[in-house]
Amino acid sequence: MQKIAVIIPKYGLTGGAEQFAAELTNRLVLQTSYEFHVVANRWQTSPSVQFHKAPIISFPKFLTTPSFAHFANERTQFGNFSLIHSHERIFFADLFTMHGIPHRYWVRNIRRKTMSLFDRATDWVERKMVYEGRCKKFIAVSNLARDIFLQEYPIDPARVAVIHPGIDLADYEKIDRMDVRRNTRREFGIGNSDLVMVFVSMNFEIKGLDDILLSLARLKAQKKNFKFMVIGKGDIKKYQKMAQRAQIQSDVIFTGPMNKGKLIQIYLAADLYIMLSKFDTFGMVVLEAMAAGLPVIISSRVGAADLVRENENGFVIRDTSNANDTAAKLSMLFDEKLRRSMSVRASQTAAENTWNSVVKKYLALYEDVLGKTRQGCQK
């Protein structure tokens, strides 16, 4: 039996990468005869998975990444594993799923900070993995992430694949759309005929809320009737003042964070999704909105732009500071006939990016790596 080691500091706990790793591994357990072992510091127990603890030295902080990499390597060194699949920067792995972008690029170009000792240590581990870690494949979650990775690490492009995250449509199909649309709109004081836009984020500034509000001010000047729902965590007071200055305060609803079930209800009650991020490796909320049949308007700096077909299931905004351009795209979606057509296409896009599709792609990579490993042993 093939033994697979999955590496991640927090398996199945809060966080996109943590939940992705658990969801993928649990589905692979059900669909293969492989024996799965998870090497983690903390985890949420899963059936048919064996767990091995890798300590983390978090003080001083710069030891966090190197210590986990060291102990993960120690745990896998004598395990006789057929394949090591890491979701975290470690020293050695066969497959590495990159849930972000190169750390040095993130610090310097996105955060625009000077590299700290912690950043340098993390970058050191990452570079050792790329150049010395015997990885057969690096998996990026978007073409944007792949391009940045290859810009930072000019390795053979054939070693870098793109597999988008997946969606579970069952979460949407079990809900009566018309019923939840009616009840949700009533809950928030929204009329049945109002066009409802949704924005979801835990960082309002980096996700482009400033630019969106300026675009909505243009719509208001055109006498368009709409409601804009801002869901998540951020400096609400700041953006309430901004909405007031733009004279759209009565059209903007700040809800605060929501759990997954409630958020799905909001999607199903809405008409379109908008997010003009300054940077987003993928943007899972975009695929979630599409699963509810929402046309999307996103910036070209969102990795999920891979899924957007212009004028078919959404729009990609190149210059997010151009409020008139964004307002023009939004204005088009007040046409109910066009919106319905794009809604159908958005749903189709989500159906092409389910977890079943993700599992098949990863299985193909596993089998490719395992096949090459067997060939190498026979030589």
Q: What is the pLDDT of residues 254-290, one digit of tens each?
A: 999 999 999 999 999 999 999 999 999 999 999 999 9
Q: Is pLDDT of 129 > 90?
A: yes
- Amino acid 379: pLDDT: 42
Strand-strand pairing, 226-232 and 252-256: parallel
Would 346 be classed as within a structural domain? yes
Please give the average per-residue pLDDT across 355-374, as a whole number.
90
Tens digit of each residue's pLDDT (9 = 90 or more) over 1-56: 899 999 999 999 877 899 999 999 999 999 999 999 999 999 999 889 999 999 99
Q: What are the C-alpha distances in Å from 296 to residues 167, 305, 310?
A: 16, 10, 10
Domain co-membership, 50 together with 138: yes
**What is the pLDDT at residue 373?**
58
Residue 107 to residues 93, 119, 326: CA-CA distances in angstroms? Answer: 24, 8, 29
- Mean pLDDT computed over 293-301: 98
Burial of 254 from C-beta contacts in 10 A (0-12 / 13-18 / 19+): middle
What pLDDT was estimated at residue 100?
Answer: 95
Residue 133: pLDDT band with limits 50, 70, 90 = very high
Region 123-146: what's the mean pLDDT? 97
Give the closest residue to 304 by CA, choosing from 329, 274, 280, 273: 280
Domain CATH for 18? 3.40.50.2000
| Residue 199, both tokens | 């924005």
pLDDT at 76 over 90: yes
Q: Are residues 187 and 303 in the same domain?
A: yes
Q: Is residue 49 part of a domain?
A: yes
Residues 318 and 215 grouped into a single domain:
yes
User: Do 259 and 147 share a domain, yes or no?
Assistant: no
Please report the pLDDT score of residue 378 as a whole number. 42
CA-closest candidate to residue 61, choices 103, 122, 105, 127 = 122
Q: Which domain holds residue 26?
A: 3-166+355-373
Tell me: do 180 and 264 sit in the same domain: yes
Would 89 be classed as within a structural domain? Answer: yes
Q: Do the domain assignments include residue 379?
A: no
Q: How many whole angstroms separate alpha carbon 146 and alpha carbon 333?
A: 31
Mean pLDDT of 234-244: 95
Q: Is residue 335 assigned to a domain?
A: yes
Mean pLDDT of 309-335: 96
- Tell me: pLDDT of 79 over 90: no
> Per the structure, how many domains does the chain have?
2
Residues 193 and 336 in one domain: yes
Q: Span 361-378, mean pLDDT?
A: 78
> Same domain for 188 and 137?
no
pLDDT in tens, 94-126: 999 999 999 999 999 999 999 999 999 999 999
My answer on whether 230 and 337 are in the same domain is yes
In angstroms, what CA-CA distances link 108 with 105, 116, 143, 270? 5, 11, 20, 37
Q: Are 316 and 305 in contact (CB under 8 A)?
A: yes
Asked whether residue 64 falls in the same domain as residue 187, the answer is: no
Residues 14 and 62 reside in one and the same domain: yes
List all residues 6 or more positions away from 311 whose beta carbon is below 8 Å from its beta carbon. Answer: 342
Q: How confident is the model at residue 317 (pLDDT cuts 50, 70, 90)?
A: very high
On whether both 270 and 346 belong to a single domain, the answer is yes
> Does 220 score more than 90 pLDDT?
yes
Q: Which residues have a Cβ under 8 Å from the Cβ of 68 and sit 6 or more positions away?
A: 9, 41, 54, 55, 56, 88, 90
Q: Tell me whether residue 94 is in a domain.
A: yes
Would 155 be classed as within a structural domain?
yes
| Same domain membership, residue 26 and residue 10 | yes
Other residues' Cβ atoms within 10 Å of the Cβ of residue 377: 7
Is the pTM here over 0.75, yes or no?
Answer: yes
Phi, psi at residue 254, to the nearest 5°? -95, 120
The pLDDT value given to residue 15: 79
In a domain, 378, yes or no: no
Whole-number pLDDT of residue 377: 43
Backbone conformation region of residue 157, classed left if phi is above 0, alpha if psi is from -120 to 50, else beta = alpha
